Amino acid sequence: MRVFHKGIAAATSLVLLGSCGGSTENTRIYLRTDAETSGTPLFQRLRLEIYRGAAPCEGCFREVAVDARTFPSGIASFDVGGSGEVRVRARLFRVRGNTDPRPESTIDVTARVVLDGMNQVVDLPMAAVGKAPPEATALRLGGEPSALAPSVPAPRSACPRPASPDEVCVPAGYFWMGDPTFDPGNEPRVDGRHERLVALDAFLLDRTEVTVSAYRASGLATDSLPRRHFVIERCTYADADDPERENFDARPVNCVGHRSAGAFCAALGKDLPTEAELEYAQGAMRSFRYVWGEELPRCGDA
């Protein structure tokens, strides 16, 4: 097996040679996906296997990283030598916390392909994540394509209204929600820790967090709200008569219960973000651990 590059459709060719028949002619197969493959891709690896019968062809296996080089414009391509009908299994999958494809975070598609030298297309749609779609038949292309249109994701709604100066419109998108290292085994997945793909429409989010002074001005602070105190230093709320109040007024308020936080938002004609919306925004819309990426925070970042 070897790798070489050709300029057809600006796609990379992953050549799987021999063992799939006696013909010396290659059949080019294009893999097309509507998943993000540039920048920070949703999937890290592409695994290809060619089957003749129940077992993979000898040497007809390839696994590569997913990036703008292997999937320019959402399209990759590879050549298979031989003749006759084979089955192509292509998997786009996550590897974080696990090196093997996990069904719930994998696009797993198998398609029948006739090796006869004609270009063919196999689609890897986002809608297939975590599912076992029926075996497909590759789309046959007549002639040599100079450009193959990428798969276009279905449009999702824009923000419900224009953002005010104090808001931002967070664009629609997909992201991985949950803990990628959590393995529930046979346990029912009801606690929300398992990783799953979430699609979000665009939504509005305040540019800054609610400050202590803004929450105090709302009049919603009750006696049950934990105050700034040496026993619970992590809480930031300070009463108006607190001598340290000025040191806390501009800080984000915390230790506020969900119901009280919802009441504050409702008084402004708004609502709390959902868990998915908050995780999406905090992960820079890219499933990062932190808004700046995967690196642990440092004291100098504060």
Distance CA(4)–CA(24), nearest Å, equals 17
Residue 70, C-beta contacts closer than 8 angstroms, at least 6 positions apart: 12, 14, 37, 46, 64, 76
One fold for 2-140 and 167-301: no
Coil, strand or helix at 98: coil
Q: Helices in the chain by DSSP H: which ranges? A: 212-218, 258-267, 275-282
Q: What is the pLDDT along the chain (302 residues), one digit of tens a residue?
A: 222 223 333 344 455 544 455 556 788 899 999 888 877 788 889 999 898 877 777 778 888 889 888 888 888 888 888 888 899 999 999 876 556 777 878 899 999 998 888 888 999 988 888 887 778 888 887 655 555 566 656 556 788 899 999 999 999 888 888 776 676 665 555 566 777 888 888 999 999 999 999 998 988 887 777 787 655 668 888 888 888 788 888 999 988 888 889 999 999 999 999 999 998 988 888 777 777 777 888 777 65
On whether the CB atoms of residues 16 and 60 are closer than 8 A, the answer is yes
Domain 2-140 fold is Immunoglobulin-like (2.60.40)
Q: Give CATH for domain 167-301.
A: 3.90.1580.10
Q: Where are the chain's structural domains?
A: 2-140, 167-301
Coil, strand or helix at 10: helix
